[in-house]
Structure 1
Amino acid sequence: MAHSISMLNVIKIYRRLLTKYPLLTQATQAGTLMALGDQIAQNLIERRKIKDLDFVRTAQFGCIGFFLTGPVTRTWYGILDKHIGSKGGIVVLKKVSCDQLLFAPAFLIVLLSAIGILQGNDLEQLKKKLYGEYPDILKNNYKLWPMVQLFNFYFVPLQYQVLVVQLVALLWNTYISYRTSLGK
C-alpha cells in the first residue's frame, strides 16, 4: 500500500514539473536515461569491472541527453503537432513519415557528431566514424523507431511523447553507446 502511494506521489510530482517546466523536465529525463543507457552498455554489454567504468563517457551521454536530445525532441514533437495535428490515422502516418524521413536521418548525424566530438575526434576521424557507423545505425533505426512512433503519436498525449521515446531509447542509447565506443 505504501509503495503504491509513493508511486502516485512521484507521478503527481512528475506531472506538476512537466506542466510547470516542460523543457527542463524533459531535458532532465533525457539526460538521465541517456547516461543510464551508457552505464548499461558498459556494465552489461562491455562487461566492464567497476574500476574500469568510464564515468566521463557516462557524463558525456548525460549532457548530450540534457542539452541536445531532450530539448530537440520536445521541440520537434511540438512542431509536428502544430503543423500536422494531433489526432487521426492519417495525421499519425504523416507525423511518422516526417519523423523518420526528415528528423531521424538528420538527428542521427548530429548525435553521432556530438558523441565523436566529445570523444576527442578531429574532423577526419569524425568523418571516418560517420561513414563507418551511420548507415548501419540508420538501418537499425528503421527496424525500431517507426513502430514506436506509430504507437507514440497515436496513443500518447503530446506532453508524454518524449518520455515514451526516452524509455524506449534506454535500449537504443545502450546500443548507440556501445557502437560509438568501438574502436575509440
Structure 2
Amino acid sequence: MKIRRLLSKTYSIYQVTAHKAFSPKYLLYTNVLLSIGISTAGDIMEQCYEWHVRDIDSFDTHRTGQMAVSGCTAGIICHNWYNFLDKVIIGRTFDMVIKKLLLDQFICSPVVILSFFATVAVFEDNPLENFNDEVKEKFWTLYRAEWLVWPPAQIINFYFLPTKYRVVYDNTISLGYDIYTSHVKHQKTPKEADNTMIEKA
C-alpha cells in the first residue's frame, strides 16, 4: 500500500509539473532548458568517444559549456519559429505539412546552423575570423546532415503534434544529431591543422 501511495503521489507531482512546464507561461523556459540539456549531453557523449579512441587526452569542460550555450540559442530560435510557423500556416493537411517542412529546411535550419557557429565563436579567439572559417569549412556538412535527419522527423512533428510539444519532440530526435554537430564543430579545419603543425614544429 505504501508503494502504491508513493507511486500515485509521484505520478500526481509529475502531472502537475508537466502541465506547468508545457503551459504558455513556462514553455519558453522548458524548451530552452531541454535544448541546453540535449546539447550538453551530445557533447559529453562525443567527448567520451573521442577520449576512448584517443583523439583527445582529457575532458574539455569549456567546450561543453560552449555547446550548452549553443543549445540555449537553438532553443530560443526553435521555440519562436514553431510558434510563428503554426500561426502563418494553419492546418495539418499534407500540403500544409510540406509547406512547413520546406520553410523549416530552407529558413530555420540555416539560421540555426549559423547561430550555432556564431554562438560558439563568441567564446573563441578571433571570433569573426573563426566564424567565417568554420562556416566556409563546415556549414554544408551540417546542412547536408539536416536534410538526411529532419525531413522525415518533421513530417511527424508537423502532422501529429501540437505546437507546445514540437521542441521537446525535436530534442528526442536531436541527441544523435547533436553528437554529430559536436564532432563536426571540433574537427580541425585545414587552417587549424596547419597552425597545430606549426606550433609542434
Report TM bin, short chain. Answer: 0.7 to 0.9
Q: Does the CA-based 8 Å contact 1:42-1:48 persist in structure 2?
A: no
The corresponding residue for 2:136 is 131
Structure number, greater radius of gyration: 2
Residues 109-149 of structure 1, C-alpha deviations (whole Å, 9 max, x = no match):
22122223324343223212211111111111101111111
The CA distance in 1 between the partners of 2:105 and 2:129, in whole Å, is 28
RMSD: 2.5
Measure how far apart 1:156 and its partner are: 1.2
The CA distance in 2 between the partners of 1:147 and 1:139, in whole Å, is 14
- Give the TM-score normalised by the residue count of structure 2: 0.81
Q: Structure 2: where are the runs of 5+ without partners? A: 193-201
Shift in alpha-carbon separation, 1:64–1:157, aligned structure 2, 3 A = same
Shift in alpha-carbon separation, 1:40–1:8, aligned structure 2, 3 A = farther
Shift in alpha-carbon separation, 1:12–1:46, aligned structure 2, 3 A = farther
The CA distance in 2 between the partners of 1:179 and 1:11, in whole Å, is 38
The CA distance in 1 between the partners of 2:127 and 2:99, in whole Å, is 38
Task: Tell me whether 1:15 sits opposite 2:31 in the alignment.
Answer: no
Shift in alpha-carbon separation, 1:120–1:79, aligned structure 2, 3 A = same
1:42-57 equivalences in 2 (<5 Å) = 42-47=47-52, 52-57=58-63
Which letter does structure 1 place at the counterpart of 2:123? Answer: L
The corresponding residue for 1:102 is 107
1:56-71 equivalences in 2 (<5 Å) = 56-66=62-72, 68-71=73-76
The CA distance in 1 between the partners of 2:17 and 2:84, in whole Å, is 26
Which letter does structure 1 place at the counterpart of 2:140? Answer: P
The corresponding residue for 1:144 is 149
Measure how far apart 1:57 and its partner are: 1.4
The corresponding residue for 2:166 is 161
Task: Tell me whether 1:112 sits opposite 2:112 in the alignment.
Answer: no
The corresponding residue for 1:75 is 80
- What is the aligned-residue identity percentage? 23
Greater share of helix: 1
The CA distance in 2 between the partners of 1:75 and 1:30, in whole Å, is 13
- Give the TM-score normalised by the residue count of structure 1: 0.88
Higher relative contact order (Cα pairs below 8 Å, separated by 6+ residues): 1
Which letter does structure 2 place at the counterpart of 1:18? Answer: F
Which letter does structure 2 place at the counterpart of 1:144? Answer: V
Q: Structure 1: where are the runs of 5+ without partners? A: none
Measure how far apart 1:106 and its partner are: 2.5
Q: Does the CA-based 8 Å contact 1:96-1:146 persist in structure 2?
A: yes
The CA distance in 1 between the partners of 2:12 and 2:71, in whole Å, is 26
Which letter does structure 1 place at the counterpart of 2:61? Answer: F
Which letter does structure 2 place at the counterpart of 1:43? Answer: C
Shift in alpha-carbon separation, 1:12–1:47, aligned structure 2, 3 A = farther
